[in-house]
Amino acid sequence: MIGLISATAAGAAARDRLAAAWPDRTRVYDGPVADAVRRAFAECEQLVCFLATGAVVRLVAPLLAGKTTDPGVVCVDEAGRYAVALLSGHGGGANDLARAAGEVLGAEPVVTTATDAVGIPGLDTLGLPVEGDVAGVTRALLDGEPVALAAEVPWPLPPVPFAAEGAHTVRLTDRAVAAGEREVLLRPPSLVVGVGASRGAPVEEVLGLVEGALRDAGLSVRSVAELATVDAKAGEPGLVGAAERLGVPLVTYTAEELAAIEVPNPSDAPLAAVGTPSVAEAAALARGGELLVPKRKSERADGQPAMATCAVVRRPARGRLAVVGLGPGARDLLTPRARAELRRASVLVGLDQYVDQIRDLLRPGTRILESGLGAEEERARTAVAEARKGQAVALIGSGDAGVYAMASPALAEASDDIDVIGVPGVTAALAAAAVLGAPLGHDHVSISLSDLHTPWEVIERRVRAAAEADIVVTFYNPRSRGRDWQLPKALGILAEHRAPTTPVGVVRQASRPDESSRVTTLGELDPAWVDMMTVVTVGNTATRTIAGRMVTPRGYRWQTTAEEAR
C-alpha cells in the first residue's frame, strides 16, 4: 500500500489525482502531518509526501530503522514539478515510484541513486538475494574498476559491466559459502526441493528435513525456488507450512506425471499410497536438472517412523528471450514495456538500423549482435541460441515484432527450454491510420505484397478474397525497385469490386521526422508515389473522405443514416 500525505490545498489536489489514478494501491492519511507520516511509515510499503523534502527529512528521521526495512519515500513539491526519490530508492522502490508518480502528475522524477544515474543496475535490484560487500563492489563498478563475475551457476542477468578478472568479485552461486573480502554473493533460484509427507506430518519435521538436507549438501536455503510434491498432498498442512516459512511456492504434479519420471530410488510405499513409485525425487526432477541430494527421510527424536522425505535438484537455468516491437520509429511511440525489456537484456540481437534507433537506451555492458538486411533467420537462430546459454536476450523488430517481423522465425526456432516474452509495439498500419484519420474503423486486413517469402499466387488469392469481402486493406512492402508490378496488380483486383472514387491513403515513414502522407482515390493513385518505406491503405465501399481524412464507419447502418440526413 502507498500512503499519501499532504499539508496544503495544492498538495491535496495532486494527492487526489494520484489516489484517483491508483485507487487500489493508495491510502490517504489525513490529520496533523507529523502524525500522518508516522502512521503511514508504520503501515505502508511506500509513501508519497506532497511536502518539502526538508520537512519530510525531519519527520522521518526518528523513524528510520534500515535500508532493508524502511519504506520507499517520494516527495512531490508544491507546484507538482518534481517527484523526488528521497528514501529507499532500491529496496523500498522509491526510484520506480518517483517515475510512476511523475508520469501521472506530469512531474519530473528526480533519482539520485548513483547506479541509476549512470545506467548500471544496482546489485540489490537484480531480483536475487544478495550478500556481502554490496557497497564496496558497487562503488568499484561506479568508479570503473574491474569487477569479475564468477558464475558457478549460469543464470540470466541484466547487463552489468563485468570484467574477466578484477580485485572485486560478484559470485553467482547456490552453495552455502560466506562472501569473501570485496565480494558479493548473488543467490539464483536454482534449487528445487521435492518433498513427500505422510498425513499429519508436522511442519517442523518437514522444514527440519529440508534445511538439514541443504546444509549437509553445502547448499544455500536462499537459492530454493520451490517445494514440489504430488497433487494429492497439495493441502497437506506440513508441506504448505514449510513452503510458507521458506517463502517459496508449493508446486504439484499428478501421480501419472511423477510415475513417468525415472528416479534412482523408487519405492512401493508411495506407489500404494498415491499412485507413483516416487514423490520426492520425481517431483524434484519433474522439470529436469541434476539430482544433488537423493531421497532422504526425516529423523524423529521419539523413534517413530519418518513422516517426510525430500530430494534436492539443481534445475537448469532457463534463458529469457524477449521479442520486442520498437514501434514505427518515433521515440514516443516506443512503449514503456519495450524500454524496460531493452534495459533488462544482457544481449541484444537486431537489424543494424533498428539497433541504431535505440542504442542510447541500452545499459552499459549490453552485448550487441547486429546484422544487415536479409539475415532475419540468422538473427532468430542467434537470439534463441543465446537464450539457451542462460542469457537474458532481447530480439528487436520494427512495429510489432509479431507482424511481418522477428517473432515468427524466432518462435519457430525456440522450444520449451527457454522463457519467451512478447512485447507488443505500434504497427506501421496503426501509425499510418492515425495519420490518415480513421480508415480502420471497421474490419480490416494487412497484406504484404512481397513475394520473396510467399508465392505471388497465394498473395493474389488473399487480395482477391479481401476485395470480394469488402474489407479495408493495408498493403505492406508495396513496391521496390525490383518489384514494381505487384502493387498495380493488387489495386486492379480491388478495382474490380470498388469504385474509382474509393479513398486510398499513402503514408511514407509514418511517425518519423520525414513523414509524408496523402489521401487520394483508387482511380488516381500513382504507384510511383510508393516505395518500401510506405504503407498503402485502401478503403472499403463505406469509407469516405471527410475534411481531408479517411473515415471508415463502424457500421454500414450509421453511414446510411448519415447520408439520409444530408
The bridge status of strand 72-76 relative to strand 82-87 is antiparallel
Cβ pair 188, 317 in contact under 8 A: yes
Cβ pair 202, 238 in contact under 8 A: yes
Q: What is the pLDDT of residue 415?
A: 87
d(C-alpha 95, C-alpha 32), whole Å? 27
d(C-alpha 335, C-alpha 190), whole Å? 32
d(C-alpha 385, C-alpha 27), whole Å? 47
Q: What is the DSSP string of 298-311?
A: ---TT-PPP-EEEE
Q: What would the pLDDT profile of 119-140 be if each residue is shown by its tens digit?
A: 677 787 777 888 999 889 888 8
Residue 302 burial (CB count, 10 A): 4
In the predicted model, residues of the chain with pLDDT beneath 70 are 114-119, 556-566
Q: Which three cell numbers stand for residue 442?
A: 471497421
Helix orientation angle between 53-60 and 33-43, rounded to the nearest 10 degrees = 60
d(C-alpha 32, C-alpha 291), whole Å? 59
The bridge status of strand 183-186 relative to strand 290-297 is unpaired
Task: For the chain, give the number of residues.
Answer: 566
- The number of angstroms, rounded, from the C-alpha of 372 to the middle of its chain's C-alpha atoms is 27
Q: What is the pLDDT of residue 565?
A: 47
Residue among 88, 147, 146, 132 at smallest CA distance from 113: 88
Q: Which residues pair with 379 in a beta bridge?
A: none
Give every CB contact of residue 3 below 8 A, 6+ residues apart in sequence: 26, 27, 29, 36, 39, 40, 41, 43, 44, 46, 47, 48, 71
Q: What is the pLDDT of residue 564?
A: 52
Rounded to a whole number of angstroms, the CA Rg of the chain reads 30
Q: Which three cell numbers stand for residue 471?
A: 474489407
Q: What is the pLDDT of residue 154?
A: 81
Residue 329 Ramachandran class (φ > 0 left, ψ -120 to 50 alpha, else beta): left
Q: What is the 3-state secondary structure (H, E, C) of 73-111?
A: EEEECCCCCEEEEEECCCCCCHHHHHHHHHHHHCCEEEC
- The number of angstroms, rounded, from the C-alpha of 145 to the middle of its chain's C-alpha atoms is 31
- Tell me, what DSSP letter sits at residue 509? S
The H-or-E segment that residue 15 falls in is helix 9-21
Phi/psi for 445 (5° steps) reads -145, 150
